[in-house]
C-alpha cells in the first residue's frame, strides 16, 4: 500500500463523516442530505405546518372557544334566573312580614264592625276603610265564611259540632278570618265545624 493509498483511507478533518461511522464523501450516491430518504427528528420538528393542518388546528380552537362561550352564556342565564327568583321570594317575604303585622289590627276592625262600633260616616270607619284598602293593594286576601265546605288545608277546626241534616263537614262559624298573600298562606281560618250527627 502506498502513501497515496493510505491518504485515501484515512479521513481528513474537512471530510464529511457519516453518523454510522463510515465516511460520506459529498459525491457518493445516496449520501447527500437532499437525496436521503430518512428524516431525522430535527427535520420533522423543523417542518412548517401545511395550510390544511393549520386550518384544522384553528377550527378546533374556534370550536373550543365557541363551547366555552355557550357554557358561559348558559351559566349567566341560570344566574339571572336564580337572582330573579330570589328577588321575588324576598319581595314576597317582606310583604308577608308587613301583612302579618297588620293582621291583629284587621281582626280588631272586624270585631268592632260586628259590635257596631264603626258606624257609617264616622272618622274611625273612614280610617278602617283606608287600612283595608292598603291591605288589598298589597295583595292580602281574607277567606273563611260560614257555609263553606271544611278544608283542612285552609281551615283550622277549633271545635266540631254534630249537626242533624249535615252530610259533610261544613264551616258553621268563623272565629278568626284566614289570610293569604298571593300563594302564601299567612294564617288559616279558625272555624267551628258542623259534622254529621251519628
Q: How many residues are there in the chain?
A: 198
Residue 187, φ and ψ in degrees, nearest 5: -160, 130
CA dihedral for 127, 129, 132, 137, sign (positive or negative): negative
For the beta carbon of residue 177, count every other beta carbon within 10 angstroms: 17
Q: Where are the domains of the chain?
A: 140-198
pTM, entire model? 0.53
Which pLDDT tens digits describe the chain residue by residue (198 residues)? 555 554 555 555 555 555 444 444 444 444 444 445 676 666 655 655 566 666 777 787 888 888 889 999 999 999 999 999 999 888 888 888 888 888 999 999 888 888 888 888 888 888 889 998 988 888 888 888 888 889 888 889 998 888 888 888 888 888 889 998 887 888 999 999 988 877
Which class is domain 140-198? mainly beta
Helix intervals (H) in 115-143 = 123-138
Place of cell 292580602: 140
Amino acid at each position: 500500500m502506498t502513501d497515496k493509498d493510505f491518504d485515501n483511507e484515512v479521513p481528513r478533518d474537512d471530510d464529511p463523516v457519516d453518523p454510522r461511522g463510515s465516511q460520506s464523501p459529498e459525491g457518493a450516491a445516496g449520501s447527500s442530505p437532499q437525496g436521503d430518504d430518512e428524516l431525522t427528528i430535527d427535520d420533522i420538528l423543523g417542518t412548517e405546518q401545511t395550510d390544511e393542518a393549520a386550518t384544522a388546528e384553528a377550527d378546533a380552537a374556534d370550536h373550543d372557544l365557541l363551547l366555552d362561550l355557550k357554557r358561559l352564556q348558559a351559566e349567566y342565564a341560570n344566574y339571572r334566573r336564580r337572582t330573579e327568583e330570589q328577588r321575588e321570594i324576598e319581595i314576597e317575604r317582606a310583604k308577608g312580614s308587613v301583612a302579618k303585622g297588620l293582621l291583629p289590627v284587621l281582626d280588631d276592625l272586624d270585631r268592632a264592625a260586628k259590635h257596631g262600633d264603626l258606624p257609617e260616616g264616622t272618622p274611625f270607619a273612614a280610617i278602617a276603610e283606608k287600612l283595608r284598602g292598603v291591605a288589598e293593594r298589597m295583595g292580602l286576601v281574607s277567606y273563611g265564611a260560614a257555609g263553606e265546605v271544611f278544608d283542612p288545608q285552609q281551615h283550622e277546626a277549633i271545635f266540631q259540632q254534630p249537626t242533624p241534616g249535615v252530610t259533610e263537614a261544613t264551616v258553621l262559624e268563623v272565629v278568626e278570618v284566614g289570610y293569604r298573600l298571593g300563594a302564601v298562606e299567612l294564617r288559616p281560618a279558625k272555624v267551628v265545624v258542623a259534622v254529621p250527627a251519628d
